[in-house]
Amino acid sequence: MKKNFGRILEQGKRRYRLYTAKMRLLPDFVIIGAQKCGTTFLHQLLQKHPCVRAAPGKAVHYFDCHFQEGMNWYRAHFPYRMEKVYEQYLKKRPMLTGESSPYYLFHPHAARRMAATVPNVKLIALLRNPVDRAYSHYNHERRKGREELSFEEAIAAEEQRLDGERDKMLEDQSYESVHHLRHSYVQRGIYVDQLQAFAEVFESTRFFIIHSEELYEQPLQVFGELLEFLDLPPWVPGDIRPVHVGSYQTMNAETRKQLQEFFEPHNQRLYSYLGRDFGW
């Protein structure tokens, strides 16, 4: 009975949000990725800021998996415009809203869709050592029961799994690729190509790039710089411990070496593009 009541209540909330969608805001910021780079940690830090009203939950996935739902569906995730008016004129402080969907950075349609829908949005990208990111992504899929291969088998199978999938997605915007979403362990770590796709449709001033390792080592400093980028007042969260820190077996040393060699030229291209060396 309680489960049924909870489900009915949630359905009612969703319908109400859709009904009031045109009275709601669009995001001021979006965390676009990358997956397994600390996006949940950062999203939760921003949610705690007194001037932020982020979308409930975390991954909205509008510009990748739910674009066919339409603008009202997307707006339904955000606060009312009047809330912003109240904060600005009565409380005399800014109010921002935003969301985090880490598949956006890798999705072939997301950048263009976002530029057409929210051209003034601020984009936040977290970049982690791609070798560690790939292994974390793999273990995430294993825990979810969506990967049966060993890590070595999975990265060996990735080229075949992804073969032609991106082209199909580009040709048919309704095509959803499970392999592109779930099994792109290595390809998602070629960050420079993904950032350049966004740079084709957004000005460079719209981007804030975070070195994930720095976020975990110096969270207050990195978070403070992000608040400045977002034009938010300084604020120190009470609890700044990372969330969803996974534990799994150490990667095979030879596999790590092979991946480091694969990513080296792509990392160098990234450093040259950003003018920053992440030391990977």
220-269 pLDDT tens trace:
999 999 999 999 999 998 877 766 566 789 999 999 999 999 999 999 99
Asked whether the predicted pLDDT for residue 84 surpasses 60, the reply is yes
Domain locations in the chain as residue ranges: 20-146+188-274
Asked whether 25 and 79 are in contact (CB, 8 A), the reply is yes
Which pLDDT belongs to residue 246? 64
Which pLDDT belongs to residue 8? 59
Check the CA dihedral 4-12-52-129 and report its sign: positive
Q: Read out DSSP for 74-119?
A: HHTTS-BHHHHHHHHHTS-S--B-EEE-TTTTT-TTHHHHHHHH-T
Which pLDDT belongs to residue 112? 98
Spatial separation of the C-alpha atoms in residues 186 and 61, rounded to whole Å? 21
Asked whether 216 and 241 are in contact (CB, 8 A), the reply is no
Which pLDDT belongs to residue 81? 96
Greater pLDDT, 1 or 225 = 225
Which pLDDT belongs to residue 78? 97
Q: Which helix (DSSP H) or strand (DSSP E) does residue 207 occupy?
A: strand 207-211
Spatial separation of the C-alpha atoms in residues 68 and 178, rounded to whole Å? 17
Which pLDDT belongs to residue 120? 98
Asked whether 42 and 128 are in contact (CB, 8 A), the reply is no
- Give the mean pLDDT of the chain: 94
Spatial separation of the C-alpha atoms in residues 104 and 30, rounded to whole Å? 9
Asked whether the predicted pLDDT for residue 64 surpasses 90, the reply is yes
Asked whether 188 and 176 are in contact (CB, 8 A), the reply is no
Amino acid at 41: F
Lowest mean pLDDT among 6-10, 54-58, 225-229, 258-262: 6-10
The per-residue pLDDT for range 15-35, each reduced to its tens digit, is 878 989 999 999 999 999 999
CATH H superfamily, domain 20-146+188-274? P-loop containing nucleotide triphosphate hydrolases (3.40.50.300)
- CA dihedral of 177, 179, 184, 185, whole degrees rounded to 10: 150
Locate 194 and state its tokens. 């993904």
Asked whether the predicted pLDDT for residue 58 surpasses 80, the reply is no
Which pLDDT belongs to residue 3? 62
Asked whether the predicted pLDDT for residue 1 surpasses 70, the reply is no
Asked whether 39 and 30 are in contact (CB, 8 A), the reply is no
The per-residue pLDDT for range 153-198, each reduced to its tens digit, is 999 999 999 999 999 999 999 999 999 999 999 999 999 999 999 9
Spatial separation of the C-alpha atoms in residues 132 and 145, rounded to whole Å? 20
The per-residue pLDDT for range 197-206, each reduced to its tens digit, is 999 999 999 9
Question: What share of the chain in percent tops pLDDT 90?
Answer: 88
